[in-house]
């Protein structure tokens, strides 16, 4: 039996009070809709159709051609949204898994479990429900005297008794595809709101077809996000569950409530993460690395036993046993070799270093290819920008760069070169040379008195 997913993402998300369409809003820096689509891709579902409408370009830009799209040009409700997928789906045999685009926390094993249950029970429609102590805002599940589900009533259409019902609609449905499109056509406009409610399908189908519910145990995973407070609740839940997953697989996280790790980050065992640390994007942290405190890492790879403290690492690679920080900034494809030391107030941009190199204090390295065992004195700088273009600096192995040296690029420094402190290097330096490029010192005897008041005799 073919399985289809239909994701409803055409709504405005008025309650969010943001410009961005709700389903594109990020949680841990990743759009809500991406969580949903990634999980569907991992499940047993064969095809994904996303219903878009309001600011559809934004959603299409995020998902690209991973999914097919159906367009709901006017937002006339969830029932109407499903109907707009009729041209693609209506005549197909199979089962359709309907998901709202504002429910990012459901993971694929649960999706598969729900579909298996639907099949095993022989249902035509399964409504996924949850029990909420505070059900405000959700549609209530209404049952007859035999306990059979007969309808869903939206909060604003509830009578006082219905308002007390704790079992609510998650907006996830598993339904025989042909029946779905047969019945969704029959939905009438809700008088109060002027919208076509998908929830009405329960009432329309239950007399002639097998309609059942499946109550999920953890209502957090089926939480619908409608406003920015909901975003923060989901973000907290996701952060805690990601951190817990890492801790259970051997990562030590100190003060985990201050540590944020993105959904796609890979962390190997025996890693330590200290407080106030954020690791996002497609970062990989290898065995035994030490990260934090106060560190931000995005889209970077930190190799075995490297240590990154009080620092920022963006789009970069740090190799084994290297220490970075405190207060270092690696960015734009910096690649730091093994056993390096990148210390206080050092910025490295689009540069590579060989094994054993040290840049310990107040240094800028940009657009440079640096060899092994190079030692940068305090304050040395690659002068890579002439106001118009960026230029390359190439430094060989075993080079000693004295304090406050300017390497004006383009410039090449050979192996085993020694550059005297304070030099402004504008020409290439051959292998083995010592370079000194500064004015000689002059001492003017007895001249300081013009600047310094003589000490008064007591
Ligand atoms: C919906 C359900 C409610 C359920 C709740 C669970 C209806 C009428 N109500 O309410 O029973 O308890 O979800 O979270 O279905 N959308 C469109 N086109 C539209 C309208 C909405 O694509 O014309 C999309 C939205 O982008 C959103 C999803 O459908 O992703 C749900 O819409 P939303 O307005 O959030 O529904 P709720 O009021 O939360
Ligand atoms: Ca919602």
Tens digits of residue pLDDT in 6-25: 999 999 999 999 999 999 99
What pLDDT shows up at residue 189? Answer: 96
What pLDDT shows up at residue 359? Answer: 98
Q: Is the CB of 106 under 6 A from ligand 1?
A: no
**What is the Å distance from ligand 2's center to 101 Cα?**
8
Q: Tell me which of 78, 155, 203 to substitute to probe ligand 1's pocket, judged by most ligand atoms within 8 Å of the beta carbon.
A: 78
pTM of the model: 0.92
Alpha helices in 249-290 (DSSP H): none
The span from the CA of 160 to the CA of 179, in Å, is 33
State the DSSP H helix or E strand holding residue 270, giving kind and residue range, or none if neither: none
**What is the Å distance from ligand 1's center to 68 Cα?**
20
Distances (CA, A) of 88 to 2, 78, 185, 341, 422: 14, 17, 15, 58, 71
**What is the Å distance from ligand 2's center to 178 Cα?**
25
Of ligand 1's atoms, which has the minimum distance to the CA of residue 152? 11
Of ligand 1's atoms, which has the minimum distance to the CA of residue 22? 26
What pLDDT shows up at residue 455? Answer: 80
**Which ligand neighbours the alpha carbon of 79 most closely?**
1
**What is the Å distance from ligand 1's center to 98 Cα?**
11
Annotated catalytic residue, options 209, 263, 333, 361:
361
On whether the CB atoms of residues 313 and 347 are closer than 8 A, the answer is no
- Residues in the chain with pLDDT < 50? none
**Which ligand neighbours the alpha carbon of 171 most closely?**
1
What pLDDT shows up at residue 133? Answer: 94
What pLDDT shows up at residue 457? Answer: 64
**Exposure string over 138-155, b if 16+ CB within 10 A, otherwise e:** bbbbbeeeeeebebbbbe
**What is the Å distance from ligand 1's center to 32 Cα?**
15
Q: Is the CB of 226 under 6 A from ligand 1?
A: yes
Distances (CA, A) of 397 to 338, 354, 379, 400, 442: 14, 8, 20, 9, 34
For residue range 95-114, what is the model confidence (pLDDT) as tens digits? Answer: 999 999 999 999 999 999 99
| Atom 19, ligand 1: residue with shortest CA distance | 77
Residues with C-beta atoms within 5 A of ion ligand 2: 102, 224, 226
For residue range 307-348, what is the model confidence (pLDDT) as tens digits? Answer: 999 999 999 999 999 999 999 999 999 999 999 999 999 999
Q: Is the CB of 72 under 6 A from ligand 1?
A: yes
What pLDDT shows up at residue 456? Answer: 76
On the CB side of 338, CA atoms within 13 Å amount to: 3
What pLDDT shows up at residue 291? Answer: 99
Q: Is the CB of 11 under 6 A from ligand 1?
A: yes
Here the tokens at position 76 are 């006339």
263 is catalytic: no
């Amino acid at each position: 039996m073919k399985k289809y997913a239909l994701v409803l993402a055409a709504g405005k998300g008025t309650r969010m009070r943001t410009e961005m369409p709700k389903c594109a809003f990020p949680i841990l820096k990743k759009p809500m809709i991406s969580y949903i689509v990634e999980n569907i891709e991992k499940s047993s579902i064969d095809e994904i159709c996303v219903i878009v409408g309001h600011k559809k370009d934004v959603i299409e830009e995020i998902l690209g051609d991973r999914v097919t799209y159906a367009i709901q040009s006017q937002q006339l409700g969830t029932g109407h949204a499903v109907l707009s997928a009729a041209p693609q789906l209506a005549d197909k045999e199979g089962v359709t898994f309907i998901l709202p685009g504002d429910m990012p926390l459901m993971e694929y094993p649960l999706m598969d479990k729900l579909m298996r249950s639907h099949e095993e029970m022989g249902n035509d429609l399964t409504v996924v429900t949850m029990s909420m102590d505070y059900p405000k805002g959700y549609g209530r599940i209404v049952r007859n005297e035999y306990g059979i589900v007969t309808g869903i009533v939206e909060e604003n259409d509830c009578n006082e008794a219905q308002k007390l019902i704790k079992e609510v609609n998650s907006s996830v449905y598993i339904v025989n595809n042909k029946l779905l499109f047969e019945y969704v056509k029959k939905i009438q406009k809700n008088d109060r709101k002027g919208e076509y409610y998908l929830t009405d399908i329960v009432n329309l189908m239950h007399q002639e077809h097998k309609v059942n519910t499946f109550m999920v145990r953890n209502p957090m995973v089926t939480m619908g996000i409608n406003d920015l407070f909901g975003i923060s609740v989901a973000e907290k839940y996701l952060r805690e569950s990601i951190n817990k997953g890492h801790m259970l697989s051997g990562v030590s996280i100190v003060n985990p409530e201050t540590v944020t790790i993105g959904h796609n980050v890979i962390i190997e065992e025996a890693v330590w993460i200290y407080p106030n640390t954020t690791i996002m994007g497609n970062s990989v942290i290898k065995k035994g690395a030490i990260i934090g405190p106060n560190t931000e890492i995005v889209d970077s790879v930190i190799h075995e036993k490297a240590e990154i403290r009080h620092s920022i690492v963006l789009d970069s690679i740090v190799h084994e046993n290297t220490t970075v920080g405190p207060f270092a900034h690696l960015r734009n494809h910096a690649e730091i070799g093994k056993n390096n030391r990148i210390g206080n107030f050092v910025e490295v941009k689009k540069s590579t270093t060989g094994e054993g190199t040290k840049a310990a204090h107040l240094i800028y390295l940009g657009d440079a290819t640096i060899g092994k065992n190079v030692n940068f004195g305090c304050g040395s700088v690659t002068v890579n920008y002439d106001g118009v273009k960026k230029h390359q600096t190439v430094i060989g192995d075993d080079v000693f760069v004295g304090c406050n040296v300017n390497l004006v690029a383009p410039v090449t420094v050979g192996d085993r070169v020694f550059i005297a402190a304070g030099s402004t290097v504008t020409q290439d330096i051959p292998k083995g040379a010592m370079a000194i490029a500064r004015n000689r010192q002059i001492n003017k005897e007895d001249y300081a008195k013009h600047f310094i008041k003589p000490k008064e005799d007591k």
